[in-house]
Each structure stands twice: as C-alpha cells, then as structure tokens.
Structure 1
C-alpha cells in the first residue's frame, strides 16, 4: 500500500537517549539522540551492526525500558514519560512486539490457545469463551497455521511455525504498530521469505505499521519503505529504500552496502567491500547535525564532512 507522508505519523521519536548505568563510574550510552517518524501503513527498517542499539530503540519505544531522555509520541499520545492508566492500556493494546527468538519469548508451559489468549484475557477483549476461541483460531488461520494447533506447546512446532505463533500473538490485539525485533534472523532463508511475505500480506490487509529491526540488508530492502542506518547508538542516515541504496552518503552506510554479496559470480569476483573504522575515520558523531539531501533523505554529519561526502565517487555494488 502507498504510504501517505502528509498524514500524521503513527510514531514520532525525538531526541531519544537510552543510558544504562553499569557502576558508579561507568555508564553505557546505548542510544544517543535518535529521531525518526513512522507513518500509518509504513515499514521503517532500522539497520546496523550488532550492538549498535537497534533492539534497545525498539524496547524503549514500547516502554520495556524507561527512556533516559527524549520524547516518544504514539498515535497522538505522549508515551515517553510517566503514563496514566488510559495511555498505558492504549499502548499495551495498540503497539505489539515480535521478538527475535520465538522459543525464548513463548511460555513453554502454556499451549498456543493460552499464549494467544493472554492479551485478550488481560484487556477483556471478548464477551464469551466462544468468541475468544473464534478470535484465536481466526488469527492462526491468518498466519497459516491450522485450528488444531491451539492445543500444542511451543516445542511441538518448527522454528518458522513458532515465529508465526509470535506474529499471531502480536496481531490478535489488532495493533496500529508492530515492532519486529530481528524476527527472521534465527530462521532458514526459505522460511525468512515466507515470514516476510506473510508480514507484507497482513500489512496490506490491516494497514499495520512496522518498525522492522534487522541486519540483513537485502531483506530490509525488500520489506521497507524507508530505512534508518544506526551505528554506535547514532542514527547516521535515513531515507527511502531507493534513496539509501542508490545514493548512500555516509561512509558507514557505504561500507554496509558494499559488503552485500552479489548472486552473479562475475560481479562477486571483482567486488571490493569498502572498509570503515570510526576511530580512524576522523568523523565525530556527537558534533553532527542532519543535512537534507533531497526527498526524505538525511545524513548526520558536520558541514565539512557533508562537503566531503558529496564529492565521494558513486558506490558500485
């Protein structure tokens, strides 16, 4: 579905910081001054290497962590600070998360019927047991599982089936935004394609927005409308999928894209991956500001760095 960028964003994150105090003398700065917006029906891909802060952002947005600083607005509600009862209930029903490891995030002692029904039970979203059962079986059918699977335990499913249960658990609340935290990284490539296609089909049907966190750039390219590139807790570059892949500006983004292997052996044989080391790059993330390149394309850097980035040769990959 076409995304309307003139509409009100479903999620607005502004100046998000997430620090973790390890000891009296040491604090981990996991996320540093990150800002982005997600529009209704949009898939926003968040990419970066392991440890860059992707999952931390997702967990801060859904308030599994209390943000150190910054504002988070979801569907017109301020959810960045202390929430009242109504706001908390709206957040818990309208925003859901699909976790990276389906085996770790599904209760091994509960059957699928109770795993999927837990949210319905907590928020009283049915009038009878029959309606509860109907909702559970309908959402299972939507994710490609059979009605009789309601009586199974998580260990009785394959990895792909377990992830479908995780998706069903998120969808049963009929959310406006789903945070998919590396939800395909533990699956086989063929199963990854099935799960991602399922997510796209559901988005077409329901209009749900996704914050898609991943490090597989080819999959992010396939599913995302816009992409944000994260490194060391800083959002370095953001734009539509075409803008990022056709005209990467930041050296870190270029290094990520140049590392994608080509299926063409002749091209792959001559491919040279660009290297990037922040310590020796001379780039200072803390001093950078967002420079507008065109459309929805922005890069975070100083004025001098921006002039340097503009004169870099076009990336061939």
Structure 2
C-alpha cells in the first residue's frame, strides 16, 4: 500500500472581484508518496455568499454537467465525492460545479479546522480515480437538444447582452441550464437588468422558463434546519392559504442564521401592498415562531410582476 502525507501551504492573495478587494486563499496541497513520486495539487478557495459557505477550486475538472446539489441522504448512491465529504463532521451541504465544490458547514464547526479536513477529502477523492458523480445517477447531463439551447444562450449573451451590460459597468456570464431554468452569474449593476435580460432571452429562446441568479442553484442548508422546516410549514399551512384568494404565494428561499429570505410570487409580486404584508404580517408570524430571526428580507423582483392583486402605488 502506498502511504502519503498531505502538506498544506497557504498563501493569501488579493482578488479583485466586482471592483472590490477580496482576500482569497490559495492552498497548495503536496502529496508526498512513499515511492518518491510527488504530485502537487493546488486548491483555491473563495468565500461563499455567507460565512457558512466556502467554494473549493481543485486543479481538476469536477463535474462538467454541474451545478448539482447532492444531499446527505442521496450521496452514497449519487456521488462518491459528496459521500466522502459528508463523512466529515460539520459538512452540511455539498454542490458540484464544472470546476468547483461548494461546501456549506454547520454552525458547530469553524473553517479554520474544517477547511483542512475538506482539503484532505478532495485530494483523496482525486487520487482514488472515482468519478465525482456515479454514471447511473448522472441525470443532469444535457441531451443534444439542451446542448443546442446552451449554444444559443451563449451566442445571445456574447453578441447582444454582454455588450449592453458592460456599458453600465457590469457583467453577466453563463453558469448552467437545466429543465428550462437558466442560471447566470451577475456582476455589479447587471443584476438590476435581470428582467430585461430574461425578456430578451425568452423572446429568442422560448424553451427558457426562468432566468435566475446562479446562487439559486447552490445548496441552502438553512432550509433543512428545524427552524427552516418550521417556517416553511407556517407559510404553507397558515400564510399562503390566507393570500391565495389574491393569487399570491410566499416561499422561503433561504435561512442564514438570524435572517430569513422570502420570495413573493403571483399576485404578491409587484403588489403595492407587498411591503406592508411582509413587515406587518408575515415577518411578525415568522419571528413569533422563531424568535432568533432578526430580519425577514424580500428577494422578489417586483418590477417583473405582471398581475398583482393590488396595483403598485
């Protein structure tokens, strides 16, 4: 049996992302193998959208057909890589993309120690030769038809959308496409143009049913916590039935420590009374149920509402 030791060297470099200086961590992982063959594997990490997430970029392709969120329950059958990562105490969620692995941790662990264990698991996986996703479970590979749509999307982005967005100091790029849902990466003021971008893409490619920020495809472990489950039950059993007569619906899209993020759909999207409904009704009920929630934030694109029960004031 070949024995090897893992040596980590951490370098802090300054990354310029979205016009802001952001410190990222580049970690060189050196495998010192007993037969005197050395293999260097460089793993870059980048902070996620919140303190519970960290994105790992190994010097290998991860999963070409990503993003793919893999739950703990399905990891054993679906993804050898995710299964290995879930063996680490504190790993709460795993998502695989073409060139990265997004890990969400539990509140009980901090990254200072957990990061090292994740590095070791990633290195061990690539050394094993196992696939990131098992062939039988690979249901996300785009078919020939989807591949044609993706080519059309990329062409529209490069020829029509990106030139217009960059004039405003922003940028937008393709992330993934699956089952009619297109996920894009927005930078700077580009996100404020989401409605216009979606309208253009859906005009030329009617197969697209929704254009979303790529973060919508990332794992959201907060939804599976006792608090997240309780809030979702509250919305389904108490809140949504009361606003159904207006054609509205409210969905919990994420839960991050003391913040709950909700989206208002149907008659609530674009409604002039949406802010009142949220702050004086829904938020009060959520905070009564889960006192640790300090804020309930609305992530709805109200400018795209087409049939609000109340007209915007």
TM-score normalised by structure 1 residue count: 0.29
Larger Rg: 2
- Which has the larger share of strand? 2
Q: Which has the higher contact order (CA 8 A, sep 6+)?
A: 1
Tell me the TM-score normalized by structure 2: 0.29
